[in-house]
């Protein structure tokens, strides 16, 4: 038995046999051609076929997973019409008198390497698209038919990584789980895999040995591990765990589409917390009524430069469009404390959790903050948008943000760039904010209580310290009291009050939140339906 840890991107358990998928690489040879004109028309004919194939994939994916998932194939079609890309291929055929498949392979490689070296992550992601499209053209020109990836029943597909085209070629009938050795959690393949709704692991610490093909295995995407060749005892234990998991999941799906109204007639909004677009799939899948907290700082992490306005705008716009009019609450940059990257050049601090973080940092780094606000305001034209400010402790901070937003709006107006008018909310995550919530309520359109930090600052306990994990009581009476104060003050001023910290999904408190009059709970996507059940049965 061998246990290989991996990152779960869709929870679940599957017991089956490994289907080892290895890409068939083939060499493209360089040939000197006689007639350039003939070769160019051969290229043109296969380009048209590639367009047809991609159109077919687009339609199939639309049907299977929706327009948003299928949009990747529209990007592929655009590339097949891109004059720079096409002219480079044609020029090579003309000037070097080489066969079309060779010209495509070389141009594709050059283009994808150029994209891969770019700073902008959106452009970097295009590298995989170029490889995918060029691979398709080369196969067509070489007469290699694209085959579906058929799997035997009860397969756990184990691969190094998958391109979007490969992912949609998988016949899902026999597929129980997907395990990738590489594969970024936000790659298109991962997005498509998630939409199939099967347990999925990426970045799994496993060597792809031919001897694994056909081996019994367990993809445990609850714990985040692949178990190869499990012993009898593990198999029994995991079968039971799987049975319970499936029973629970099945039961929960029956709450889809129901209104969040308690037996006592109290209505509450139930939203999802996300950190990236990939989690939006999960939010939609679990029937979240909106996004209560989009932790935008994750766009700033895991990279070497600030994300550009355009890059952020595209992400926010996609979130808003895909939520189709449902509320999307974008929290502004909450960087500092544990969330840092060298390029951010954050000051070394004795107590970073009490330091220059979140709104404090943003108000010092006006350029960075204004870039984000501009991106949010522009995206706001595409849906139902709210802005949420982290770590607010004074009315002055909120006023400063409002006036910065007004300035940006005036500028956008002058430049005739469309923008929205998002509601402005405040995170209540310090005792100070809760205690002056009566004053703050006059400055804000809504409150959202961040119980993770509220607990940390109320109990004076580092939320990151494993030694304190047992005593870090998120439902401490002092925390509940501060929640109560905030709700009352919010309501006195006529603004809604929600909870977006982890406590929101504590089912033992759902009844209490209803009694307090909390208007919104925002939880991780996979908890939405269990909280709904708790509301309806409270």
Active centre residues (catalytic) = 188, 500
295 binding ligand PEP? (CB under 6 A) = yes
User: Cα separation of 188 and 163, whole Å?
Assistant: 7
129 binding ligand PEP? (CB under 6 A) = no
User: What is the SS3 string spanning 388-408?
Assistant: EECCCCCHHHHHHHHHHHHHH
Residue 287, SS3 per DSSP: coil
506 binding ligand PEP? (CB under 6 A) = no
453 binding Mg ion? (CB under 5 A) = yes
CB-nearer residue toward ligand PEP: 176 or 391: 391
Contact assessment for residue 155 and residue 175, using Cβ atoms and an 8 Å cutoff: yes
User: Cα separation of 297 and 366, whole Å?
Assistant: 16
Q: How many alpha carbons lie under 13 Å from residue 34 in its C-beta half-sphere?
A: 0
357 binding ligand PEP? (CB under 6 A) = no
Shortest distance, CB of residue 174 to ligand PEP, whole angstroms? 40
- For 511-528, b where at least 16 C-beta lie within 10 A, e where not — what string? eebbebebbbbbbbbbbb
Binding mask 315-354 for ligand PEP (x = CB under 6 A): -------------------x--------------------
H/E element holding 16?
A: strand 13-21
| Residue carrying the six token digits 């509940």 | 480
User: Cα separation of 128 and 329, whole Å?
Assistant: 31
| Residue carrying the six token digits 């005593």 | 471
500 binding ligand PEP? (CB under 6 A) = yes
CB-nearer residue toward ligand PEP: 289 or 336: 336
CB-nearer residue toward ligand PEP: 69 or 448: 448
Shortest distance, CB of residue 498 to ligand PEP, whole angstroms? 11
CB-nearer residue toward ligand PEP: 316 or 419: 316
Residue from 163, 312, 371, 451 touching ligand PEP (CB under 6 A): that is 451
501 binding ligand PEP? (CB under 6 A) = yes
Contact assessment for residue 309 and residue 122, using Cβ atoms and an 8 Å cutoff: no
Residue from 12, 290, 450, 498 touching ligand PEP (CB under 6 A): that is 450
CB-nearer residue toward Mg ion: 121 or 276: 276
Quick one: which of 192, 145, 149 has its CA closest to 173?
A: 149
452 binding ligand PEP? (CB under 6 A) = yes
Interface positions with Mg ion (CB under 5 A): 429, 450, 453
Interface positions with ligand PEP (CB under 6 A): 293, 295, 334, 429, 450-453, 500-501
């Amino acid at each position: 038995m061998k246990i290989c840890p991996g990152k779960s991107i869709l929870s679940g358990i599957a017991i089956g046999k490994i289907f080892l998928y290895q890409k068939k690489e083939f060499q493209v040879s360089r040939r000197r051609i006689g007639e350039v004109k003939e070769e160019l028309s051969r290229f043109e004919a296969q380009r048209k076929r590639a367009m047809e194939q991609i159109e077919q994939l687009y339609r199939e994916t639309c049907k299977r997973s929706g327009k948003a998932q299928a949009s990747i194939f529209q990007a592929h079609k655009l590339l097949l019409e891109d004059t720079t890309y096409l002219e480079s291929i044609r020029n090579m055929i003309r000037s070097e008198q080489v066969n079309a498949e060779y010209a495509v392979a070389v141009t594709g490689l050059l283009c994808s390497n150029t994209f891969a070296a770019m700073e902008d992550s959106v452009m970097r992601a295009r590298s995989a698209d170029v490889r995918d499209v060029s691979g398709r053209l080369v196969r067509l020109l070489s007469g290699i038919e694209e085959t579906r990836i058929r799997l035997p029943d009860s397969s756990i597909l184990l691969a190094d990584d998958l391109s979007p085209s490969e992912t949609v070629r998988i016949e899902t009938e026999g597929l129980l789980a997907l395990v990738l050795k590489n594969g970024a959690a936000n790659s298109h393949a991962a997005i498509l895999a998630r939409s199939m709704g099967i347990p999925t692991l990426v970045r799994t610490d496993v060597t792809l040995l031919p001897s694994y093909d056909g081996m019994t295995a367990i993809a445990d995407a609850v714990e985040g591990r692949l178990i190869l060749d499990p012993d009898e005892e593990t198999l029994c234990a995991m079968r039971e765990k799987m049975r319970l998991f499936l029973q629970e999941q099945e039961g929960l799906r029956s709450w889809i589409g129901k209104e969040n109204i308690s037996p006592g007639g109290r209505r509450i909004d139930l939203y999802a917390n996300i950190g990236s677009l990939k989690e939006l799939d999960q939010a939609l899948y679990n029937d979240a009524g909106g996004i209560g907290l989009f932790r935008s700082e994750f766009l700033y992490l895991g990279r070497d430069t600030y994300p550009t306005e355009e890059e952020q705008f595209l992400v926010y716009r996609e979130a808003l469009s895909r939520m189709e009019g449902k509320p999307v609450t974008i929290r502004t940059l909450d960087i500092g404390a544990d969330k840092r990257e060298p390029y951010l050049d954050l000051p070394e601090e004795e107590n970073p959790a009490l330091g220059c973080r979140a709104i404090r940092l943003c108000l010092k780094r006006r350029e960075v903050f204004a870039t984000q606000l501009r991106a949010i305001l522009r995206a706001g034209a595409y849906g139902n948008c709210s802005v949420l400010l982290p770590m607010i402790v004074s009315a002055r901070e909120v006023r400063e943000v409002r006036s910065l937003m007004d300035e940006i709006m005036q500028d956008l107006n002058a430049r005739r760039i469309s923008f929205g008018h998002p509601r402005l909310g405040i995170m209540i995550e310090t005792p100070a904010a809760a205690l002056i919530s009566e004053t703050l309520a006059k400055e804000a359109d809504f409150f959202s209580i961040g119980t993770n930090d509220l607990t940390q600052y109320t109990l004076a306990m580092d939320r990151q310290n494993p030694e304190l994990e047992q005593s870090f009581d998120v439902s401490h009476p002092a925390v509940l009291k501060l929640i109560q104060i905030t709700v009352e003050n919010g309501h006195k001023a006529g603004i809604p009050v929600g909870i977006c910290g982890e406590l929101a999904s504590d089912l033992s408190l759902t009844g209490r939140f209803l009694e307090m009059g909390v208007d919104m709970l925002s939880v991780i996507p996979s908890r939405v339906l269990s909280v709904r059940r708790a509301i309806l049965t409270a």
